[in-house]
Amino acid sequence: MKKKIVVIGNSYKFIKILNSIYPRSVIKVYSWRNINSLDLKKESVLKNINIILICGYDYKSQWYSYNKYYLSNITKPLKLTQFLSTKKSVIIYINTINKIKENTLSKNKYTLSRYEFAKKELAYKLSKNFKLLKILEMPVIENINGSANVHGGIFTLIIFNFLIYLKLIETISVNNIKKLIIKKIDSKNIIKHRSLKPIFLNLPRPLIVDRMLRFIFE
Q: Report whether 216 contacts 80 (CB < 8 A).
A: no
Predicted local confidence at residue 107, as pLDDT: 65
Max intra-chain CA distance, the chain: 50
Cα–Cα distance for residue pair 186/218, rounded to 1 Å: 32
Mean pLDDT of 35-39: 85
DSSP for 131-149 reads SSEEEEEE-EEE-TTS-B-
Predicted local confidence at residue 119, as pLDDT: 95
Q: CA 170, 174, 175: angle at the middle one, nearest 5?
A: 110
Predicted local confidence at residue 105, as pLDDT: 47
Residue 113 in this model has a pLDDT that exceeds 90: yes
User: Pick from 47, 50, 73: which is nearest to 3 by CA?
Assistant: 50
At 54-106, the pLDDT tens digits run: 999 999 999 999 999 999 999 999 999 999 999 999 999 999 987 655 544 45
Residue 45 in this model has a pLDDT that exceeds 90: no
Q: Does domain 4-216 have CATH number 2.40.128?
A: no
At 119-144, the pLDDT tens digits run: 999 999 999 999 899 999 888 888 88
Strand order in the sheet with 26-30: 26-30, 4-8, 51-54, 90-96, 133-138
Which of 40-44, 70-74, 189-193 reaches the highest mean pLDDT? 70-74
Exposure class string for 166-197: b at 16+ Cβ within 10 A, else e: eeebbbbeeeebbebbeeeeeeeeeeebeebe
- Where along the chain do its domains lie? 4-216
Predicted local confidence at residue 158, as pLDDT: 85
Predicted local confidence at residue 39, as pLDDT: 83
Predicted local confidence at residue 168, as pLDDT: 80
At 132-177, the pLDDT tens digits run: 999 998 888 888 888 878 887 888 888 888 888 887 888 888 888 9
Mean pLDDT of 208-214: 91
